[in-house]
Chains A and B, each alone.
Chain A
């Protein structure tokens, strides 16, 4: 298959065939993470800058490990320690970094569309590690790898996503990916956290968690963003937990072999009870493990998709190296 994407800005840019190709590529990279020597020379000599304007442990570490295991040189920049605090604009920051010739910039930013903005202005590849409330493509892909690992395939699965839908970029990427690959998505959450138009995206929307959980194959709990809007949109955490939290009782409504996912970090006792978070059905750490393989695949494909558009006259070399 021809993969002609230099940037990974969102699930939206990919069709089903390309998504399956990314998932297959991730599957192949997964083996490296189980080796004693966890390193391959695939991206030797490439430089990857992780530009994180928002706090992140999991995603940033995951991208950094992914880059290092592919032998790329990775540099981390976080907003608190960068010139952003001195008032530099996003474009100036990015242009200055680009002047040092990185091959890929992995960016997280609080503004939706920030990655698109950079991708249009820079020559290097841009990978979206979460932009505002827009997309978080690598998370949706690692969720898909985890679902496939436990359920065989995505087609036909009933996926219940519960929580703060309005402010979740994870949800937006997931809905798009799951629909493109044939799963159905049910959504539940407090009315204040449900954006309009979910039905138009093809989701079934419920205001009661029990209805969304019934017969679900996959239960994905979202984090209440305590540091952001979380507190003003719900009366209290206790009330949220009682009506929208996942516990052993309402989990029984899902299929007996349903898996429980959470993009992390979890608020134990709020959206998910500790008993469920540690229970046999949780695959939360599988998600994290698969995240490294997915990000290796994205870095590899972005680096490889890079030159496809202007190398038509090198067909001869392709043939020779292919043998």
Chain B
């Protein structure tokens, strides 16, 4: 990744944002009943695990956690060079659950569209809400997040990267010009 790097959030700031999001999720859903967290691979799944941990610290309940891989639902096959397909791992029924979909960076919204298609193929959730660490704008679809760690106006040419350590803990958010 070339160009100038600016740190947007450090690990403490990320933890504060995730703690706030965990509280907001509990407030909005009035507790943990029916609540499940689904992280989008890769990045969102690590953040979803962090949120599960924080919710457990607040409510004392480990809500079900799953991961979704959206490759099979993308709309650009034949136009991209990376063909890697990861595994979707959701070991509980989604019917009538309140799903919080978790991603690291919200950009065009196409990933979220694909993730929602993937989820409805697996069941019929009562609601799907969206939690993201960074919302960088430039939406191409009518999608908006319910929980945002940080709104960050960017230009299209910039890149945002959420860094994780070997234990899958988030350690920083950087912007590359």
Contacts and interface: CB of A to CB of B under 8 A. Distances in A.
**Interface pairs A-B: 8 shortest CB-CB:** A40-B72, A28-B85, A323-B107, A307-B78, A42-B72, A304-B83, A28-B87, A321-B76
Nearest to A103: B78
B64 to A, nearest CB: 17
Contacts of B111: 323
A100 interface: no
B23 interface: no
Interface in B78-133: 78-89, 105, 107-108, 110-111, 117-118, 121-122
Contacts of A300: 72, 77, 83, 85
A41 B76 CA distance: 12
Contacts of A28: 69, 71, 85-88
Contacts of B168: none
Interface in A12-59: 21, 24-25, 27-29, 31-32, 35, 37, 39-43
A70 B73 CA distance: 10
A86 interface: no
A297 B72 CA distance: 11
B156 interface: yes
Choose among A37, A314, A318, A322 the residue with the greatest number of B CB atoms under 10 Å from its CB: A322
A37 B95 CA distance: 13
Contact of B78 (A27, A70, A303, A322): A303
Given A28-B87, A37-B122, A320 B108 contact: yes
Contact of B79 (A3, A31, A314): A314
Q: Is the interface of B mostly helix, strand, loop or mixed?
A: loop
Given A37-B121, A41-B72, A42-B72, A321 B80 contact: yes
Contacts of A317: 76, 79-80
A314 B80 CA distance: 9
A31 B41 CA distance: 15
A308 interface: yes
B83 A323 contact: no
Interface in A233-281: none
Interface of B: 69, 71-74, 76-89, 105, 107-108, 110-111, 117-118, 121-122, 156, 159-160
A304 B118 CA distance: 19
A309 B82 CA distance: 13
A21 B83 CA distance: 9
A311 interface: yes
Contacts of B117: 41
Could you say which of B81, B89, B118, B156 has the most chain A C-beta atoms within 10 Å of its C-beta? Answer: B81
A322 B82 contact: yes
A40 B74 contact: no
A322 B73 contact: no
The winner among B71, B110, B111, B159 for most chain A CB atoms within 10 A is B71
A305 B78 CA distance: 7
Contacts of B121: 35, 37, 39-40
A3 B83 contact: yes
Contacts of B78: 303-304, 306-307
A6 B111 CA distance: 26
Contact of A311 (B77, B79, B105): B79
A300 B80 CA distance: 13
Interface in A289-323: 297, 300-301, 303-308, 311, 314, 317-323
A297 B86 CA distance: 12
A2 interface: yes
Contacts of B69: 28
Contacts of B159: 319, 323
A1 interface: yes
B93 to A, nearest CB: 9
Nearest to B77: A304
Contact of B83 (A25, A27, A32, A319): A25
Q: Which of B72, B87, B108, B110 has the most CB of A within 10 A?
A: B72
A41 B83 contact: no
Given A24-B85, A322-B80, A323-B111, 20 more contacts: A1-B83, A28-B85, A28-B88, A29-B85, A31-B88, A35-B121, A37-B122, A41-B72, A41-B73, A303-B77, A306-B78, A307-B79, A314-B79, A319-B159, A320-B107, A320-B108, A321-B74, A321-B79, A321-B80, A323-B107
A323 B108 contact: yes
A300 B74 CA distance: 12
B122 A305 contact: no
Contacts of A42: 71-73, 77
Nearest to B74: A321
A25 B85 contact: yes
